[in-house]
Amino acid sequence: MGKKGDLSNCEWGMVVGARRAGLSISQSAQLLGFSRTTISRVYKEWCVKGKTSSMQQSCGRKYLVDARGQRRKGRLIQADRRATLTETTSRYNRGMQQRIREATTRTTLRRMGYNSRRPHRVPLIK
């Protein structure tokens, strides 16, 4: 019997699917092998929040450049908007203990919204 926090995405989906198919809480618990409390809580959370997974934030690799690093990188970019990717990466790595590659800098800049090639000032007359 799994608790609500221990369920995988697939198991969450099975619980929600069983309840949406019209099975009662007891029937769902018997069919899937979870406690009635777990079935009830998962379905209630799905109804209220539309949430279907329990461990979304703890999945996947952590970012090398966290929120603090992004703020620092933003200040470096604002200081010199014409700096190349190599220059930006080397400036970022100067003060950091953990060094990052240019590819990491590129993905971080895209995540921060610096991926547009459109000019900032659009001409009024075409």
| Residue 105: pLDDT over 60 | yes
One-letter amino acid identity for 32? L
**What's the pLDDT at 53?**
55
**What's the pLDDT at 62?**
80
In the block, tokens 């200040």 appear at 75
| Average pLDDT over all residues of the chain | 82
- 6-63 confidence digits (pLDDT tens): 677 788 888 888 888 888 889 988 988 888 998 888 888 878 777 655 555 566 778 8
pTM of the prediction? 0.48
| Residue 91: pLDDT over 90 | yes
**What's the pLDDT at 95?**
79
pLDDT band with cut points at 50, 70 and 90 for residue 96: confident
Residue % of the chain over a pLDDT of 70:
80
Q: For the structural domain made of 4-49, what CATH number should be given? A: 1.10.10
| Residue 5: pLDDT over 70 | no
